[in-house]
């Protein structure tokens, strides 16, 4: 496999280089343009290489025209104006996707597809997730260069001489991916998983059998594609598999994490998209099922995908500087740019969050006790001299006292299904707003630290008065729910509540639209996309799943060996089952009321009823577990 072509770097996308690469690697039979719509769906198609080569100039410059049916762009690509063009991106790495189950007859090598990241264009304008991130980095870089050319204040705290100018801005981003892997059709034992998680029996333990092999192969394969894989390890979730004999393992149910090196923002987001496919297919070859869902198993740790965001500049003198690090790492946590960037993210998180958390599954993950953030608060460390990491906050400061270039922010709320392109773009826009505030007011580092650390009710020039933004405590243990809501804001509980932020915080949305990074039409289309996904998932997946679960909650006791507690518990179960699912002539069940509210487009009501449904389902599961555990003999 070492003689395979795994990727074509960005500096080799001229026609002659491409033709030569394809001629040298005849096992590459297809080309696929991969764009990402606003719903985070990526396109894939198979275009024979010979068709691609017949008009390579037209393909590279005009792309491929579609009727819009393969992507979802509501309020943009309408049925009477549906033409959407896929235009290749020649400024990022192109990767080759190999089908190991399909061998090229002539070479004996696996058949490959050249995957070309692309943009979606409608009416001559880019309208996709990748385009938004590209525009945000361009806008950030040009704006920052202009500011640094004009601001003596900024040049002084960065340590730039009067002759130095910014030649390049590096906007780096790193992600990792967490996922669950299991034996297909293996039924989950939630109680065993919960016990194992509580006892920390799996965290960073040694992998064995096919899980070990697949993880090692995934790391090697990621390196083949230039990812610079850094680590793979077990996460907190999972139970030990069982050896069935002859090196065969069954009852596999484990949670893993794989990390790789940072890259430029757009390339890093592309890496994350392709990494999921590499990992999934590698584990599938070993007969294992992979899920990247945010919360595949209720009551057990979900899958996160922390985003690490950093900015650096290259000067005309050849020097490179981290945009956030102070001149002396022992004097301050951050320089003014760093404080401004962090405050910008925190202030505008209400309009960042809809891009981060956009599904029912994602909201199920954001629960206290599972190291997933539930409120908008940051940590920067207990002391300047000793960096610290607080896993209970939304965003943390990552520092290395011996390496100023390591200074960055870790956003902990995303999950593997978050739209990395739109999330990162929204973060950059918010950071830029905070930096603009700093350049306008010219505060000291100490003044900015004091402002970020403000108390609830304390006035601030930039941050909101009735909010707190910093905590070095375990926010789950140190504060009650009521205290968290008061200090850090009430977090949205459903997709609908999250989407309402676009209408409730128009001033914060205006930060996103600056520089035409998030055109209003794109935000409207995104809202429509996520709303459609929410109601469809709620109606066609969440409620049917709950119905199936309720049907399994049957009576287990007979007349022997029962107590009054068994009878009381069963009556509670019966009442909840009926309240949730059973209609009568004079009363509608909760599931029906949700469906009717969605049908009538009463989304506020549907959201409130969903919250009620989730609470009642949690109660039902708890009571049924208690009921079953108290029975000595079970009839069914």
pLDDT digits (tens, 9 = 90+) for 116-133: 999 999 999 999 999 999
Q: How does residue 245 score in pLDDT terms, banded at 50, 70 and 90?
A: low
CA 39 vs CA 31, 64, 374: distances in Å: 23, 21, 23
CB atoms inside a 10 Å sphere around CB 226 = 16
β-pair partners for 257: 178, 233
Rounded-to-integer distance, Cα 181 and Cα 179, Å: 7
Predicted confidence at residue 27, as pLDDT, reads 98
Predicted confidence at residue 1, as pLDDT, reads 62
355 φ/ψ angles, rounded to the nearest 5 degrees: -85, -25
Rounded-to-integer distance, Cα 550 and Cα 617, Å: 9
Q: Is the pLDDT of residue 53 over 80?
A: yes
Q: Is the pLDDT of residue 319 over 60?
A: yes
244 φ/ψ angles, rounded to the nearest 5 degrees: -95, 0
Task: Look up tokens 């996160």; give the residue.
Answer: 304
- Write out the two tokens for 58: 């037209």
DSSP 261-272: --EEHHHHHHHH
pLDDT in tens, 611-621: 999 999 999 99
Q: Are 341 and 431 in contact (CB under 8 A)?
A: yes
Q: Is the pLDDT of residue 167 over 70?
A: yes
Q: Which of 40-54, 125-139, 142-156, 244-258 has the lowest mean pLDDT?
A: 244-258
Task: Look up tokens 């770097």; give the residue.
Answer: 9
The residue ranking higher by pLDDT, 267 or 234, is: 267
pLDDT in tens, 374-432: 899 999 999 999 888 888 999 999 999 999 999 999 999 999 999 999 999 999 999 99
Q: Are 304 and 365 in contact (CB under 8 A)?
A: yes
Q: Which residues contact 588 (CB under 8 A, 6 or more apart)?
A: 596
Q: How does residue 372 score in pLDDT terms, banded at 50, 70 and 90?
A: confident
Q: Are 264 and 254 in contact (CB under 8 A)?
A: no
Rounded-to-integer distance, Cα 355 and Cα 271, Å: 19
Rounded-to-integer distance, Cα 573 and Cα 623, Å: 7
Predicted confidence at residue 636, as pLDDT, reads 63
Domain-by-domain residue ranges, the chain?
7-127, 529-629
Q: Which residues contact 614 (CB under 8 A, 6 or more apart)?
A: none
Rounded-to-integer distance, Cα 540 and Cα 358, Å: 17
Q: Which residues contact 54 (CB under 8 A, 6 or more apart)?
A: none
3-state secondary structure at position 25: coil
Q: Are 504 and 350 in contact (CB under 8 A)?
A: yes
Rounded-to-integer distance, Cα 351 and Cα 423, Å: 10
Predicted confidence at residue 206, as pLDDT, reads 87
Predicted confidence at residue 198, as pLDDT, reads 64
Strands 378-379, 395-398: parallel, antiparallel or unpaired by DSSP? parallel
Q: Are 631 and 563 in contact (CB under 8 A)?
A: no
For residue 316, how far is the Cα from the chain centroid?
A: 36
- Write out the two tokens for 180: 């669950």
CA 178 vs CA 25, 275, 550: distances in Å: 33, 11, 30
Q: Are 292 and 416 in contact (CB under 8 A)?
A: yes
Looking at every residue in the chain, the average pLDDT score rounds to 93
3-state secondary structure at position 243: strand
Predicted confidence at residue 370, as pLDDT, reads 56
CA 12 vs CA 17, 24, 87: distances in Å: 6, 14, 17
Predicted confidence at residue 605, as pLDDT, reads 98
pLDDT in tens, 246-297: 667 766 889 999 999 999 999 999 999 999 999 999 999 999 999 999 998 8
Q: Which residues contact 270 (CB under 8 A, 6 or more apart)?
A: 92, 93, 117, 130
Predicted confidence at residue 247, as pLDDT, reads 65
**What is the arithmetic mean of pLDDT over 499-504?**
98
Q: Is the pLDDT of residue 192 over 80?
A: no
Helical ranges in 366-505 per DSSP H: 420-441, 445-452, 475-478, 481-488, 495-499, 501-504
pLDDT in tens, 56-87: 999 999 999 988 777 889 999 988 888 999 99
CATH number for the region 7-127 comes to 3.10.20.70
Q: Are 310 and 408 in contact (CB under 8 A)?
A: yes
pLDDT in tens, 179-190: 999 988 777 667
- The C-alpha R_g of the chain, in whole angstroms, comes to 26
Q: Is the pLDDT of residue 467 over 90?
A: yes
Residue 267, CB half-sphere, CA atoms under 13 Å: how many?
Answer: 20
Confidence (pTM): 0.95
């Amino acid at each position: 496999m070492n003689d395979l072509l795994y990727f074509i770097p960005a500096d080799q996308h001229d026609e002659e280089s491409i033709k030569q690469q394809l001629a040298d690697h005849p096992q590459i039979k297809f080309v696929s343009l991969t764009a990402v719509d606003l719903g985070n769906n990526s396109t894939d198609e198979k275009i024979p290489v010979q068709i691609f080569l017949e008009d390579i100039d037209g393909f590279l410059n005009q792309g491929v025209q579609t009727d819009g049916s393969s992507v979802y762009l509501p309020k943009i690509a309408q049925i009477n104006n549906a033409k959407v063009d896929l235009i290749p991106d020649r400024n990022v790495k192109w990767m080759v996707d190999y089908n190991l189950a399909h061998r090229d007859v002539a070479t004996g090598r696996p058949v490959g597809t050249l995957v070309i990241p692309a943009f979606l264009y409608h009416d001559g304008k880019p309208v996709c997730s990748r385009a938004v991130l590209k525009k945000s980095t361009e806008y950030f870089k040009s704006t920052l260069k202009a500011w640094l050319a004009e601001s003596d204040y900024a040049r002084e705290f960065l340590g730039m001489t009067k002759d130095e100018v910014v030649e390049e801005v590096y906007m780096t981003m790193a992600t990792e991916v967490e996922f669950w892997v299991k034996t297909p059709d293996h039924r989950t034992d939630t109680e065993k998983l919960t016990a194992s998680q509580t006892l920390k029996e799996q965290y960073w333990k040694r992998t064995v059998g096919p899980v070990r092999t697949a993880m090692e192969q995934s790391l090697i394969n990621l390196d083949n594609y230039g990812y610079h894989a850094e680590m793979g390890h077990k996460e907190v979730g999972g139970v030990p598999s069982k050896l069935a004999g002859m090196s065969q393992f069954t009852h596999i149910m484990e949670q893993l994490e794989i990390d790789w090196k940072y890259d430029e923002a757009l390339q890093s987001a592309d890496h994350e998209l392709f990494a999921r496919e590499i990992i999934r297919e590698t584990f599938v070859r070993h007969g294992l099922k992979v899920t990247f869902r945010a919360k595949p198993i209720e009551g057990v740790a979900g899958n996160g995908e922390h985003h690490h965001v950093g900015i650096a500049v290259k000067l005309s003198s050849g020097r490179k500087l981290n945009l956030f690090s102070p001149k002396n790492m022992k004097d301050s946590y951050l320089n003014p740019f760093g404080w401004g960037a962090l405050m910008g993210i925190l202030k505008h998180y209400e309009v960042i969050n809809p891009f981060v958390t956009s599904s029912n599954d994602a909201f199920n993950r954001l629960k206290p006790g599972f190291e997933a953030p539930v409120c908008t608060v940051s940590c920067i460390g207990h002391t300047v001299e000793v960096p610290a990491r607080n896993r209970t906050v939304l965003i943390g400061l990552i520092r290395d006292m011996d390496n100023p270039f390591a200074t960055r922010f870790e956003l902990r709320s995303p999950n593997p299904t978050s739209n990395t392109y739109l999330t990162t773009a929204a973060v950059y826009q918010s950071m830029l707003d905070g930096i603009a505030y700093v350049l306008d007011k010219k505060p000291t580092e100490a003044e900015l630290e004091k402002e970020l650390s403000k108390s609830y009710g304390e006035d601030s020039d930039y941050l909101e008065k009735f909010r707190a933004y910093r905590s070095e405590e375990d926010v789950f243990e140190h504060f009650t729910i009521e205290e968290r809501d008061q200090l850090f804001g009430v977090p949205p509980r459903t997709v609908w509540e999250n989407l309402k932020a676009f209408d409730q915080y128009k001033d914060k949305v205006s930060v996103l639209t600056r520089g035409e990074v998030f055109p209003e039409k794109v935000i409207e289309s995104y809202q429509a996309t996520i709303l459609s996904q929410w109601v469809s998932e709620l109606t066609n997946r969440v409620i049917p799943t709950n119905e199936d679960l309720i049907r399994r909650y049957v009576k287990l006791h007979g007349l022997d060996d029962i107590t009054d507690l068994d009878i009381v518990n069963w009556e509670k179960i019966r009442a909840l089952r009926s309240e949730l699912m059973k209609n009568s002539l004079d009363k509608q069940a909760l599931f029906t009321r949700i469906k009717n509210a969605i049908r009538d487009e009463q989304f506020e009501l549907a959201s409130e009823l969903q919250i009620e449904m989730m609470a009642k389902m949690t109660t039902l599961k708890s009571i049924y577990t208690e009921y079953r555990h108290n029975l000595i003999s079970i009839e069914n």
